[in-house]
Structure 1
Amino acid sequence: MSIFATARFVLHLAISAAMIAITALVLLAPSRIPENTLWFMVALGLGGAVVLCGVAVIWPKDATIANDELARSSQQAGIVLGYWATFAVFVVFLASALAGQMDPRTAFYLLGFPLGAVPSIYMVVAFFRGRAG
């Protein structure tokens, strides 16, 4: 396995774990959410992008090998799944907000989590299935 594929896997795993942990905190103990959660996620995403770009510049052959048609197809499928998961969550949150069971600001805040987590979770699963490495 190339170093680029390993770096991509670690980034998707870190994003998945962070998004699941934050979502669990939001749902189970909203008062325990750290104030810098947003900046942590931004730093994780930007740091991962810098690492992947750096690895691609240092090892361009590995990056080319790791970005084959199967990996691109898996990435596209993860993005599509993330879109539909976010749409489904939006409909549920809309119904909850209209029924008065959820504050619209909270619903809007939580809407970003499936869009951030689902594609990364899909890529981790695809990696273990041999479709993204």
Structure 2
Amino acid sequence: MIEIMIVKLGTIGLDIAKYTFHLFSVNKMGRLIKKKQLKRKQVLAYFAKLEPCLIAMEACGGANYWARELIALGHEVKLIAPQYVKPFVKGNKNDFNDAEGITEAAHDQICDLCRSDALSNKIFRIFTANVSV
């Protein structure tokens, strides 16, 4: 009898670019599950099919847009400043190595300081703007 094992995703490191996105997904134990390249049009459809998980991205100009879209799909998003990601990138500079470095930086305790939740920040700004001192 063949047993089918469903592997739950722990963290996905997403390296975003202009046309192609690279993801590196690991389970809760930190073992590689999948490396995948996606085109811009495929990103939201791909993540809509996944169970909610932690998605880590390097903070850049387009990261806030993708964070809002992924949060709307039910995922938890963590934006990490580039200076925290660089020490975790192994080997030569390429997109898959960057995605792996982002995944590893997401688990580092120092990077919890730069955690960003786009919707929470937006709600906080709206709330504080309406409160008069």
User: Do both proteins adopt the same fold according to a TM-score greater than 0.5, normalized to the shorter chain?
Assistant: no
Which structure is higher in helix share? 1
- TM-score for both structures, normalised by structure 2: 0.29
Q: Which has the higher contact order (CA 8 A, sep 6+)?
A: 1
Which structure is higher in strand share? 2
- TM-score for both structures, normalised by structure 1: 0.29
